[in-house]
Amino acid sequence: MQAEIAHPLDVYLRETGMHHIWCTGCGNGILLNSFVTAMRELELNLDKIVVVSGIGCIGRIAGYINTDSFHTTHGRPIPFATGVKLANPELKVVVISGDGDLFAIGGNHFIHAARRNVDIKVICANNFNYGMTGGQQGPTTPLNISTATTPYGNIEHPFNLVHLAAGSGAVYVARWTTLHVRRLTESIKKALQKEGFSFIEVISQCPEIYGKSTKIGDAIDFMNWFKKASEIQNFSDPAKAEITPDRIPIGEFVDIEKPTYEKLLTEKIVQVQNKTQGGA
């Protein structure tokens, strides 16, 4: 019988939550690993981080991380996170959710939070389908793929999330696969330290469900696809970053500076209070 070994990252995980419910080889597990590694490497104060997740397999992640956390209704982690951040700007607020939650039902909230440049970090685990409910199509499912609700093949064009984020005004946009876990950790660290709306798309494998839809094989075949098709091109044109079976453009796409909503709000409040001071 093996004595209970602790993992060095266990202190960042919630004891009552673990072990996670994700399948063998699920990319969400790698994202969890990467995220807590980033927290450790930055030596962040765990009391001042809030993790907000939506509905989906990835939604369970909030219950696994040892910080204040909240699991919202479907599609609504971003406006919830906005409320948290504006109520207490000292907190670092991170939204970790899925492609359907953030871009189908939650699409409107994404583009507006990016437009406002609210200082929240949004990490999207993009596994190209709705895994939790059994593999239905989502807004990032590629054309022609047969899913539970596209049994004859998907006829919808998928989003290019990098382009969408860049177009909406995000100040930091990156895409990595779970295979590129170290670069993903570096991007997460960068986003955590950058002010403004930061978006990281994580191409994540769903071997049990999406893997079956695409007949790609097993978890390792999935990773080998990432290895084969990924092309690192930092700061290439987000408009040309669509994902095809042969090409997954990854890297950092946007890294700019722009006044955040919080900064403009604080300035405005000072301005208003000074103006009304004199009884104007």
Partner 1 sequence: MSEKNRAVFTGKHFLSGDIACAEGALAAGCRFFAGYPITPATEIAERMARRLPQVGATYIQMEDEIASIAAVIGASYAGLKAMTATSGPGFSLMQENIGLAVMTEAPCVIVDVMRGGPSTGQPTMAGQQDVMQAKWGSHGDYEIVALTPSSVQEAFDLTIEAFNYAETYRVPVMVMMDAIVGHMWEKVIIPPADNIRIVNRNKPSVTPKEYMPFKPEKNLVPPMAVFGEGYRFHATGLTHEEDGRPRTESIKAQQRLVQRLCDKIRKNSDKIVQVKEIMMEDAEVAVVAYGIESRAALSAVRKARSNGIKAGLVRLVTLWPFPEKPIAEVAEKVKMIIVPEMNYGQLVREVERAAKATPVTFLPKLGEEPHRPEEIFEAIKGGKP
Partner 2 sequence: MEKQILATKKLWRKPLDAEKIKLPEAQIYIIKDRCKGCGYCIQFCPKEVLEESEEINARGVHPPKVKDPSKCALCGFCTAICPDLAIYVVEKTSEKKEEEKNERKE
Q: Which does 104 bind (CB under 5 to 8 A by kind): partner 2, partner 1, none?
A: none
Q: How far is the CB of 270 from partner 1 (least distance, A)?
A: 9
**66 binds partner 1, rule: CB under 8 A:** yes
181-187 contact pairs (CB < 8 A, 24+) = 181/30, 181/33, 181/34, 183/232, 184/31, 184/34, 185/34, 185/37, 185/38, 185/41, 187/252
Residues in 206-265 at the binding interface with partner 2, rule: CB under 8 A: 207, 219-220, 223
Of the pair 9, 105, the CB lying nearest partner 2 is at 9
Q: Which residue has the tokens 């950092």?
A: 252
Count residues binding partner 1 (CB under 8 A).
46
User: Interacting stretch for partner 2, rule CB under 8 A, among 40-48, 72-80, 139-147, 175-183?
Assistant: 175-183
Buried b (16+ CB within 10 A) or exposed e, 199-213: bbbbbbbbbbbbbeb
Which residues touch 132 (CB under 8 Å, ≥6 apart)? 55, 56, 57, 59
Task: Compose the 181-210 pattern: x for residues touching partner 2 by CB under 8 A, - for all others.
Answer: xx--x---------------------x---
Task: Please give the helix or strand (H or E) that residue 175 lies within, else none.
Answer: strand 172-177
Q: How far is the CB of 230 from partner 2 (least distance, A)?
A: 14
Q: Which does 30 bind (CB under 5 to 8 A by kind): partner 2, partner 1, none?
A: partner 2
Which residues touch 262 (CB under 8 Å, ≥6 apart)? 85, 86, 89, 118, 119
Q: Which residues form the interface with partner 1 (CB under 8 A)?
A: 14, 16-17, 46-48, 50, 52, 60, 62-63, 66-73, 76, 78-88, 90-91, 108-109, 112, 265, 268-269, 272-273, 276-280
